[in-house]
Chain A
Amino acid sequence: MKKILVADDEMSIRLLYSEELKEEGYDVITASNGKEALEIVSREPLDLVILDIKMPEMSGIEVLRQIKEKYPDLPVLLSSAYSEYKQDFGTWASEEYLVKSSDLEDLKAAVRRHLKN
């Protein structure tokens, strides 16, 4: 069973994403901020990470940078309410940048795409 980390400061988003992804048959762990996400990445063997960008303590971009430094092969998807972070070079290291939507089909498709590799 593939293991996915969802990091978002919004409790309702964490709940929505984990419910949907579990239904797809993945094992889902959540983190409510950047620091917590990095701890989990260093502790648990993961297949994919979904990161919110605007989080307290540490932004998703910084988390992405540190993950890619240590685990360049671990796929990371960015999921943000804002589209303008696409202009930030820091986000380009991610596998995909997704703007949050209540329709999670795009997200799930992206997860499937990157888990194959």
Chain B
Amino acid sequence: MPLNRLTFLTNLIDLFTSTVSYEERLANFVYLVARNFNVDQVLFFGLDKNRSRLFLNADSRKSVLRPRLEFALGEGIVGQTAQQRTPLILQMSQLPVQPENQPLLALVPNVQTLACFPVADDNFLYGVLLFISRVSREFLPVEKETILIACRMLAGNIRQALLHEEAKKRIAELAVLYEIAKATGATRELPVLLEQVVSISAKVLNARGASLRIVDEVSQQIHVSSEYGIVPRDVPPVGTLFCEKPLLTGELPSITSELTNSQGEKHYFAGIPLNLKGHLKGMLCLYDKMGANHSFQQFDQENIQLLQTLAGMATSSIENALAFQQIEALAAKNARMVNILTVLHDISAVLMTTIEMDKILTILVRALTFKNAMDYDRAIIFLVDKRRQLLVESRHAYQPSAASTLPLRQALLADLGNPEEATPVGPHPIEVPLRPDQGILAQSVLFRKPFHIMRADQHPQVNQQIREQLSGQEFIAVPLLAKEEATGVIVIDNHFTQRPLDEEDMHFLTMFANQAALAIENSRLVETIEASSKELTLIRERMLESDRLAAMSSMAEGLAHEIRNPLVSIGGFARRISKQVKAGEELKWHELKKYVDVIVDEVGRLEKILRQMFDYTGDSLGYFREHEINGLVEDALTLIHRDLEKYNIQVVKEYADLPPVYCDERQIKLVFYNIFQNAQQAMENGGTLTIRTFPLEKKDGLYAAIAVSDTGGGIAPELVYNIFNPFFTTKEQGTGLGLSIAQRIVSRHYGDIEINNELGKGITFTVTLPIAKYCLLPLKNSTSGTTSLEEV
């Protein structure tokens, strides 16, 4: 059948513009060519991507089993045609058959002619078309020309198909990347994100398994990881592979590798590093790309490129998620800190409400165990017993089974007096001697150090008693420190919940212990102050009593001295009279008269002394009358004149005429007696006592002023303000009561005592007492407050 060129080319155009697939077009093309050119068989060999070998792609005879035929470039008629890009025609009858062409001759028996045409356009060769004929056959120039046209059309069609294929792939990749972007943008949860990245990567590449590990930059440990599908366990893990590489700096290249497991099976993997700003963040690994017939294949360069793009996108999302995770962790930590600080603040506010030790301890153990406070399962407080050098268990508590519904402050204070809670320590409280060899609790106090013990049963330093209580658990012991001194120790654990204890617990317990120690210290101080105050009151009373006794005994002694002389005289003369009368002599009347006069005088003197004494010490009921102040001063002076003489003290008196003062005579005498005594005691080596009385006009009226000066050198200026305080004295034997009593009496008389201390010279006491007239007539003369002394 002669070639109908027009019909053939029309058929070709129809074929190439049809919508059938590329493979089908190729099959139809070789069939069409074989039929039109009347040959036995037409084959198409395609050039591979590496442009080095030609593979059989299409056969005009639709045999069930297509033989596997391939040629290198330049090998046999197929290779030579491809290399030279010109048609080659071999007649078997003319030439000896080349061994390279032998496989072709095996296809059909008795081949006579082989003709091979390049399939190429202006730029590229896509393959060759081989004609096989069992009859010797020549190709006319018009036939050759037609075949070459058909080959060019095929080349164009192949190029289109390749472009189409490429475009489809790119679109698929874009779709994958879109999926990844969608997935990474949708979540900030790191585990979810990683899961999506590995699953999408594995699905896109049709890999059997995938894993993604994120490495912590600081510790270089795996921080999080995610896996999908089957990750071979018995091949060296990728982690070891990429840990061998320099970490953290520089961009790590992607790796593809082949590993053989213990059963001799081959596995393939691709490792894509996740790099961000030059730092290695982690590794995305894919295992065993699945090929046809469930065989495993190596990942090719295109796969790697896609994975790299994918990894790049995932990296920044992972970085964001990591940052977000850190922020969330920080926020959670902050929230916890604020919560704990609020709790501590509440506890400290509650502790302020009491100074009773029992209540403070109850509040402390509640604060340690309440759910809405420190939230520990159990707490024990030990306090130091200084006297016995022991740590004594003072309070322990368990977390209440039902959480209180009250706010913390109220809950801490509720039913504080409850006796059950006030004495929860059993009949045998734990006691630990305060020595360094007595274990953790003693050490905590002695070294003022907190301890965090992980396994109480295995720690050699934990006391046996405590070990039994804690039943082999983690616990914390924190010392109670107040002013550099440890007053006890707090022990807590989580016996029931087994919640682990950490650095933060230590930190907050230390803060808590500081507050607790202060509260306990304050309570102890108050107890001490109260005890001291009671003791002081007792001492004061005893001193007052002994002072009264001393005053009485001193007075009795003075009395004895004053009456001995008159008694000696009276007794002596009485004996003389008695002797004369007994002797029966003639009585010498003038002598008797002399003796009796002495007796009478001396008795009178005794009576006077007694009067003075009892006026002075008599009942303390106020007996107010008008008195001449100079006279009272003089009386007081006579009470002390003996001592003034004894210590060689000169007395200088300057008395002014003064109107009477309304006062209790005995009390005012006592005032001056005390002032004189004070002056005398200041001048034990002699000196001068100056007494000056004068009128003094003050804002509220006229006063009688009595200034008493000594030459005893005065006292230190800082002591002046104490001089009227009871029991204040600078003398070895003074009671310190005299001036205090004097001041009290004077103020009872609406007067004043002023002191003028001149260091090196002496002290002047100035007593001012209101003039009687103004005291008696305060209302009538209230407008004449400026009346001068002359008018009075």
Interface residues of A (CB under 8 A from B): 10, 12-13, 15-16, 19-20, 54, 56, 81-82, 100-104
Contact = CB atoms under 8 A, between A and B. Distances in A.
Instruction: Specify the main secondary structure of chain A where it touches its partner.
Output: loop
A81 B565 CA distance: 6
5 contacts: A12-B573, A16-B573, A20-B576, A81-B565, A100-B564
A19 B576 CA distance: 9
Interface residues of B, number: 20
Given A12-B601, A13-B565, A102 B572 contact: yes
Residue in B568, B573, B575, B576 whose Cβ sees the most chain A Cβ within 10 Å: B568
Nearest to B642: A54
Given A12-B598, A12-B602, A101 B568 contact: yes
B461 interface: no
Contacts of A56: 645
Interface string B591-635: 000100010011000000000000000000000000000000000
A13 B573 CA distance: 10
A81 B569 CA distance: 11
B570 interface: yes
Nearest to B599: A12
Which of B572, B594, B602 has the most C-beta atoms of chain A within 10 angstroms of its own C-beta? B572
Given A15-B598, A56-B645, A102-B571, A10 B576 contact: no
B569 A16 contact: yes
A102 B568 contact: yes
Nearest to B597: A12
A56 B576 CA distance: 28
A100 B598 contact: no
B275 to A, nearest CB: 109
Nearest to B594: A15
Contact of B565 (A10, A15, A19, A20): A10
Contacts of B567: 102
Contacts of B645: 54, 56
Task: Give the 9 A-B residue pairs with the shortest CB-CB distance, closest first.
Answer: A102-B571, A12-B569, A81-B564, A16-B572, A100-B568, A102-B572, A12-B598, A102-B568, A81-B565
Given A13-B569, A16-B572, A81 B561 contact: yes
Interface centre among A10, A12, A54, A56 (most CB of B within 10 A): A12
Interface in B550-579: 561, 564-576
A104 B571 CA distance: 10
Contacts of B642: 54
Contact of B568 (A16, A19, A54, A82): A16
B575 A102 contact: yes
A6 to B, nearest CB: 13
Contacts of A103: 571, 575
A104 B569 CA distance: 11
A113 B103 CA distance: 179
A10 B598 CA distance: 11
A103 B578 CA distance: 12
A20 B571 CA distance: 13
Nearest to B566: A12
Contacts of B594: 15
Given A12-B566, A101-B568, 18 more contacts: A10-B569, A12-B565, A12-B569, A12-B573, A12-B602, A15-B594, A15-B598, A16-B572, A16-B576, A16-B598, A54-B645, A81-B565, A82-B564, A100-B564, A102-B569, A102-B571, A102-B575, A104-B575
B641 to A, nearest CB: 11
Interface in B517-566: 561, 564-566
B573 to A, nearest CB: 6
B565 A102 contact: no
Contacts of A10: 565, 569
B568 A13 contact: yes
Contacts of A20: 572, 576
Which has the most chain A C-beta neighbours within 10 Å: B561, B570, B601, B602?
B561
Contacts of B568: 13, 16, 81, 100-102
B578 to A, nearest CB: 11
Contacts of B573: 12, 16
B609 to A, nearest CB: 13
A101 B572 CA distance: 8
A39 B241 CA distance: 132
A85 to B, nearest CB: 11
B574 A82 contact: no
Contacts of A12: 565-566, 569, 573, 598, 601-602
A112 B220 CA distance: 123
Nearest to B576: A19
Nearest to A11: B598
A103 B571 CA distance: 7
B602 A102 contact: no
Nearest to B646: A54
A102 B565 CA distance: 9
Contacts of B572: 13, 16, 20, 102, 104
A34 to B, nearest CB: 12
A82 B569 contact: no
A15 B593 CA distance: 13
A13 B605 CA distance: 14
A56 B568 CA distance: 20
A52 to B, nearest CB: 9
A13 B571 CA distance: 11
A10 B571 CA distance: 15
A19 B568 CA distance: 14
A10 B563 CA distance: 12
Contacts of B570: 102
Contacts of A82: 561, 564
Nearest to A16: B572
A56 B642 CA distance: 10
Nearest to B562: A81
A12 B602 CA distance: 8
Nearest to B567: A102
Contacts of B569: 10, 12-13, 16, 102
Contacts of B571: 101-103
Interface string B121-146: 00000000000000000000000000
Nearest to A99: B564
A82 B645 CA distance: 15
A104 B566 CA distance: 15
Contacts of A16: 568-569, 572-573, 576, 598
Contacts of A102: 567-572, 574-575
A92 to B, nearest CB: 19
A105 B265 CA distance: 147
A106 to B, nearest CB: 12
A104 B642 CA distance: 26
A105 to B, nearest CB: 10
Nearest to A8: B565
Nearest to B648: A59
Residue from A10, A13, A102, A103 whose CB has the most chain B CB atoms within 10 Å = A102
A35 to B, nearest CB: 15
B595 to A, nearest CB: 8
Contacts of A54: 642, 645
A100 B569 CA distance: 10
A100 B567 CA distance: 9
A91 B569 CA distance: 23
A15 B599 CA distance: 12
Contacts of B565: 10, 12-13, 81, 100
A82 B557 CA distance: 10
A9 to B, nearest CB: 9
Nearest to B571: A102
A43 B93 CA distance: 198
B560 to A, nearest CB: 9
A19 B595 CA distance: 10
A17 B164 CA distance: 164
A72 to B, nearest CB: 27
Contacts of B576: 16, 19-20
Contacts of B601: 12
A58 B569 CA distance: 23
Contacts of B602: 12
